[in-house]
Structure 1
């Protein structure tokens, strides 16, 4: 089923490209400029979206081995991820059940964690196994004082966590079948080549850029080129979207040469997965996945965006994952050059512009921003932000219980 859906989407893109057209939204949409600058709206979004919805917290290849762990803070919630002996992932509140001190930091490999405050010790599955000076502390039921677990879900080489231990929202329901399509990348067996974290503007300002091809030949004229495409068709799966350029052609990377392929001449069964997953795949509310090639090796940049401490701040961790680990100096150098190029594009063009945009919007003199008929991705994103930020917990469950996978756009 996923491959047939991907083929259907690809054939739709080919047909639009053959006609030199694109799918357009019904109308121009206006969004209040205050939605980017109002601190109260910002705090509500952190609470209602980032602390309530499933978040993609790590690619599986970041925790490849039993005992691997990762500690991170998301909107004020300390999270600890660990890979268990059986290969599953545990997601826990990174707070000692004694006084709340975080028991881990950074990344590494460990079978147990000892709190640096009083020495309480936990297994990497969260079980409390040691209370310091138990004869002095007093009787305590260790089983009742394990680390708090969060809902966790791993599929398609990606790990999702909901930062509400009592959440009733099923993560698979939330993904609306999108995770089945993401399996086409094959991330389960990919290699984490490199990663870094960049500072950015308001989280929605930053995310708008991932949903917008319209700006590519203008803002990125010096990097991608002024003749770069600026059209994108959108395929929605609940709040999650795939953006891809309507074109009858694809570029095949082979060594140092690129070859243009007319997809109208390629049979369905011969369409490669590289062609079928082209474009940008976004996972609401904060993930973008785009394919690239470094030294002729297939890779992808997974951008993980989170709100910062204030309304005008965000931070993005960029994971550069590769289908095969580079095995010689030339390939390693080329992969680094590709990743460094992408840093320049995002940091010095997208996010620099977003920060200037945010500063200007804070003047309060522009009351609305516009999303054109050719910017349907941004329209849909802001509609979902508004809808989910204002939904009750019960409504949230009902919204995604009713979501189904739509047919590919015609």
Structure 2
């Protein structure tokens, strides 16, 4: 983790806050309205974004113990994650090598050393090896070593797990992250606990994701939850397509208190870790991380967004992770209240608005939407979506090898 880089960002936010300024994009940008409603483009995005780029598929604390597993479907791809005995994570195509039936039901989690296909009884170890062919004498001779579960590229860093849903991908996940995971280490998610999770339906995935990159709407859309005097400015920091947005201010809330700290009078050594990570951290193309305090301790909501079946649908799994599991009834209640509050904000305000917006755009009566100079994050997000959706596989590899090299320098 580079505390120096975090301090540099924080000092920039402090200076802008003291001067009552913010960083702007060069101009107001137009984005075609059809980028949200075109079903052919939507299918291309699912293939070239979600089935080709690394995705953050789970926080590490969702699979904390050896032999823990999780099965999920992403854009039509069945994925099985397992925690190996050596602590590493395996990512497998959740399809029996006999007839393709999933060996674990999607949406389930548990702890197991073996998985038996429910169709014909072929059995696999949780490292993917085929160890049992039912009635093998009758079935005939097969090479079990050649019929293991197929492996996806997988990478674990900063208490988060990434997988690439392309069995033949040559894209380095570390290159793709552009050094961003080094900064995410600042949250300290390694060793945290998963307190609760839920999945919410939402609008078009880009409509939904726009909201995570936008403080401009906070005092308007969330006036009844966060308050009408809430900040609406954000400065943006970039690592390839990954972004952090944070309010330009010299103040930060003291952890677990309503007290506001004046960061401008603190030395670099005195700056609290929470202040260095405030704001929203997004991982392209579908993750948002925001810190909160509830249940007597530090927490964070990790929002994991995926496209749905149609262009107007998405779904988001909200993970509420905490530094430690709350022990008292009062702290458990407080943590649930914090998480329930965030559900209301996202479901009833952000996503309800996004669905109305998408329905209106589907009328075809608007040619384009606008992203202002103060909405730099949305501008950059749409530029990256367009660039990567239409890039060839070799070009994608070239892009991120270059981004990683630049980040290293």
Deviation at 1:354, TM superposition (A): 0.2
Name the CA distance, whole Å, in 2 between partners of 1:184 and 1:253: 15
Deviation at 1:313, TM superposition (A): 0.1
In the TM superposition, 1:144-163 aligns within 5 A as 144-163=146-165
**1:112 aligned residue (95, 111, 114):** 114
Runs of 4+ in 1 over 3 A off after TM superposition: 404-407
For structure 1, the 5+ residue unaligned runs are none
Alpha carbons of 1:405 and 1:231: their partners in 2 closer, same or farther (altered >3 Å)? farther
Name the CA distance, whole Å, in 2 between partners of 1:19 and 1:406: 31
The TM-score normalised by the length of structure 1 is: 0.98
Instruction: Report the equivalent of 1:184.
Output: 186
Contact 2:176 2:404 in 1 (8 A): no
Instruction: Report the equivalent of 2:225.
Output: 223
Instruction: Report the equivalent of 2:141.
Output: 139
The reply on whether 1:241 has 2:243 as its aligned counterpart is: yes
In the TM superposition, 1:249-268 aligns within 5 A as 249-254=251-256, 257-268=257-268
Instruction: Report the equivalent of 2:302.
Output: 302
In the TM superposition, 1:353-372 aligns within 5 A as 353-372=353-372
The reply on whether 1:27 has 2:45 as its aligned counterpart is: no
Contact 1:213 1:231 in 2 (8 A): yes
In the TM superposition, 1:158-169 aligns within 5 A as 158-169=160-171
Deviation at 1:307, TM superposition (A): 0.0
Deviation at 1:296, TM superposition (A): 3.3
The reply on whether 1:46 has 2:46 as its aligned counterpart is: yes
Name the CA distance, whole Å, in 2 between partners of 1:224 and 1:40: 38
Deviation at 1:270, TM superposition (A): 1.2
Q: Aligned with 2:80: secondary structure?
A: strand
Contact 2:281 2:290 in 1 (8 A): yes
Q: Aligned with 1:253: secondary structure?
A: coil
Deviation at 1:253, TM superposition (A): 2.9
Name the CA distance, whole Å, in 1 between partners of 2:47 and 2:402: 23
Contact 1:237 1:405 in 2 (8 A): no
Deviation at 1:324, TM superposition (A): 1.2
Contact 1:236 1:406 in 2 (8 A): no
Q: CA RMSD in A?
A: 0.9
Q: Aligned with 2:391: secondary structure?
A: coil
Name the CA distance, whole Å, in 2 between partners of 1:298 and 1:21: 30
The TM-score normalised by the length of structure 2 is: 0.98
Instruction: Report the equivalent of 2:127.
Output: 125
